[in-house]
Amino acid sequence: MVECVLPSLAVLAALLSASVAFADPSPLIPGDPLACFTRVDGAATVTNVTVAGMPFTRALHVKTGTVASNANAWDIRPRCFSTQAAKVNDVVAVTFWMRAIAAPGNLGLTSFVLERNDSPYTKSVTYTAAAGTDWKKLEVPFTMAETYASNAYNFSFWVTFANQEIEIGGLAILDYGPGVPFSSLGLTTWPYDERAPDAPWRAAAAGRIDRYRKGDIVVIARDDSGRTIPGAQIHARMKRHAFGFGTAVAGDVIQRTDTTGQNYRDAIKKLFNKVVTENALKWPTFESNGRQQADYMLPWFAANGIEMVRGHNVIWPAATYLPADVQAMLKATPVNADALRARIDKHIADVMGYTKGKVTEWDVLNEAYTNKDLQAVLGDSEMASWFVQARTADPAIKLYINDYNILEAGGYDIQHINGYQQIIRNLLAAGAPVDGIGLQSHFDSNLTPPSRVIELLDQFATFGRDLQVTEFDVSVADEQVQADYTRDFLTACFSHPAIKGFMMWGFWEGAHWKPQGAMIRRDWSTKPNYGVWNDLLYTQWWTDVRGATAADGTWRTRGFLGDYDIEVTVNGATKTYPLRVSSNTEPVYLNTGKTPARAIAAKGIVNGASFAGGPIAPGEIVTIFGSGFGPGDTRVLFDGVAGQLIYALAGQVSAIVPSGVTGTTQVRVEYQGVATEPVQMTVAAAAPGIFMCPNKPGVALVINASAGNVISCNADFVPPGSGSVITFFVTGEGGLRGGTSFGNIALASRCVADFAGAIYPGVTQINTCVPDAAPRDPAVPMVFIAGGVASPPASINLQTAWTLLWSDDFNGAAGTSPDPARWTYDLGGGGWGNAELETYTNTTDNVYHDGAGNLVIRAVKTGSGYTSARIKTQGKFSVTYGKVEARIKIPYGQGIWPAFWMLGADIDQVGWPACGEIDIMENIGKEPATIHGTVHGPGYSGNSGIGAPFSLAAGGRFADDFHVYGIEWSPQSVAFFLDGTQYFEVTPARLPAGKNWVYQHPFFLILNVATGGTWPGNPDATTTFPQQMLVDWVHVSQR
């Protein structure tokens, strides 16, 4: 019968446990909770307002104004003092709704607080909430920190946030009594946002973890002759994380000689690779029994392979945390500042001298935002001095500042966050050697969503210092919530590249400042958060993989950063090799067997542009020739620092010289983890080289910007003429201002197009102009000079120049007609296909020399209409290809249409537009600042012509001065120029599909001034007559 009774009792106990009923909760504010908030501290307006469409009908409307930057979080708050008695460990659930009416960023903030009315003002809860413009439900479970008599404590909403209006309604505060799990309270919004398995932040965090917390591992298996071994079996077994996962260690418990002490020490070794002294090195403790604890702890850490050790803390500047004699100094009237400073300085020297060589980090300053007793006497600037002294005492370690409520409190303790940031800014501005920023992370039920955690980490990462979670725990009466938040918070932090360590503030209930926050119970049984910690650190973030080498003898994987044993098995024989993976960007290589020799060739380090030897310069691209390296798996090291790799081929590699090298540098090429012997190179301020065409040895890679950006490496390159703007590229100029010479001819003054700037790492673009006196040879040596150092010459083709083929400078006598040997006329009216109004004549009323070197084409208004002139070279001169230019001062006015253009000489045979038309310059007078260049041909004529306008800056008019209008015409291009600058180019590629390029035969020239027409419109009352176009010259040149 006994065997049956015991199972029955167990079943009965389970049934009873499942059916436990909790007493009805009691409200802690009698009556209407909102009506109790009658006292308002600070500058806020608090009113009751009516609410519609919600489960409640009334709300508090709270409005704040300007808030001082040094305000305390509690300075502004509505408060309720009519409260019922409550007992320590009672479980309380608070529910309220909140929305922002107006707030910065449309985010309203408040902190719900329960605190004792008198000293020490014990707080059972401080819960910071944020809400947007829609009503948001907030639920706050907590456990009473102490027993309170009726009316001995108060509730308040802290609203010390500038310029916001919020409303709070639906408030209920219920006491459920002791022992009630949070999970039984029926809460719907607690514990925290983004807890769901598919929350978007998780995928992003996983991607960052893969990127920042893993490194590439490459194993190369060779035999004793250096031959690679395919199929070798590889097993990579992780032994220890590189990232610091740590805990605070209690100095008394670790020394215990009983089972508890042994369990405690074993847990440290099993769970953590980093530690922090919890109390032993704090100032008062260190000067009492802390040194004895540290005498045991620090050697024990070293003996057990724990390399990362934090000291905590040098200065905690509140009187409460200072030795008794220092507290007495602070109470003296007046305070002897010199004596106080000397006492502090001695302590810094003592404690840091004691730990020198035994710790790797120190919290130099702890909680300075709220603890200010020392600063009140010595000034805030004294904080920087503490860091300077710490650096002097131990130059080799990282120095941290540390504070709380940065990531906690829902992530919205804005005063504390801003205040901490300002302290850090001030320290850095004062030159304090702050290496790291500590973020304590003691959480209660006010759990910060992971995306807000990451947002805050991003903010603090802008300081450019290491970040570390220094004192993590989660103290809530729900073990599953505790585990879930541990998982999510740890994941978010581990994913952030600025986080360099994650410290728990204890792990065992028997040695934890908040036993509920531990992950191992007092009886050494484990809680769910223990399982989370182990699963993340030793399963999800742990690497244990197997594989076999490929045909080239290599095996590759990506593993978490840390220490490994690599087992290599060949023909049944296994050898184990240690390997440390410490970089997420540079692979780590393990070579087994004999490694082939690697070497840099004699004089094998050259400028990557000119391929000339000599000194190298910071920022220069160098190319290195040799043997035994490349392709792939290659680095170029300059005094051990990897330069940015450009490419790696077999026996040839190119990289950028790091900016920090000076004097001389040792250059090595590393291939698959094995480096060449070093080659010493002299480092100069500048060692310029000009990039050359890969298909034309010795020819500079030049872009002729004045000829349509043609490139010297290509067959269609147009050699630049005098004043032409060219672009070329250099490396090794060292960031120094340089100049260019062409056949020893340099510009007499700066070119209007001068430019020098980096366009790619190691590559600088140079824009300059060709000097007038530069040689006109097919291979002119071009040299770039930077810092007085000349590059090796690279050639540029400057040979070809334009030769004048035909011209008219219009030097005839005043009143005479154009030269009949050069020009003839189009006569008559009829609209000319454009609804024009003028009649063209050949009289000197409409076209004549002015005697001052100009031809005048004159549009005149007559009684019956308008007359003008249109002259042409048809039958007298035509040209195929070349430069066609005219210097012209055009008229302006509504309905006036001056033009300089060309028609195909075969127009009488094929007609228009099959003959082709090139409009070098057209203007419609109502647009005095704009000219047009256009081509017309079959299928792209009239309104479908292919062209582009050019407009002067606001206020300019072409009629105000002469301008040179021209084209440069080649078999496959018509480029349009204004005053020597190209503004448009037409090539066959621009034509509509299937249309013909009709610009490969002779064309003749035309000058005219039309009146009216479909494009310019007709003259109106604003148009004055006569109108005239002055032509200074017309030139036609060919190469």
Catalytically active residues are 917, 922
DSSP letter assigned to residue 308: E
- Can you read off the two tokens belonging to residue 837? 């109004």
Residue written as tokens 């050949």? 842
Alpha-helix runs per DSSP H in 272-321: 283-285, 291-303
The candidate with the shortest Cα–Cα distance to 899, out of 880, 875, 871, is 871
CA distances from 351 to 184, 290, 362, 387 (A): 49, 11, 11, 13
Alpha helices in 150-249 (DSSP H): 200-212
Other Cβ atoms less than 10 A from the Cβ of 896: the count is 28
Per DSSP, the three-state class of 551 is: coil
Q: What is d(CA 135, CA 619) in angstroms, rounded to the nearest whole number?
A: 57
**Number of residues assigned to the chain:** 1039
Both structure tokens of 338: 């010199």
Tokens 């260019």 correspond to what residue?
740
Residues 425, 376: Cα–Cα separation, whole Å: 19
Handedness of CA 45, 48, 54, 56 (dihedral sign): positive
The whole-angstrom separation of Cα 616 and Cα 603 is 12
Q: Annotate 110-133 with b (16+ C-beta within 10 A) or e (fewer).
A: bbbbbbbeeeeeeebbbbbbbbee
Q: Is 50 exposed, middle or buried (0-12, 13-18, 19+ CB in 10 A)?
A: exposed
CB 92 within 8 A of CB 110: no
What distance in Å separates the CA atoms of residue 1009 and residue 1019, rounded to the nearest whole number? 13
Contact in structure between 856 and 847 (CB atoms under 8 Å): yes
Dihedral (Cα; 333, 336, 337, 340), 10-degree rounding: -110
Residue given tokens 């590699």 in the structure block: 653
CA distance 837 to 1025: 14
The residues near 61 (Cβ < 8 Å, ≥ 6 apart) are 45, 46, 47, 48, 49, 101, 165, 166, 167
- Measured distance CA(314)–CA(391) in Å, rounded: 12
What's the rounded Cα separation, in Å, for the pair 381 and 427? 8
Amino acid identity of residue 543, one-letter, is T
Sign of the CA dihedral 808, 813, 816, 821?
A: negative
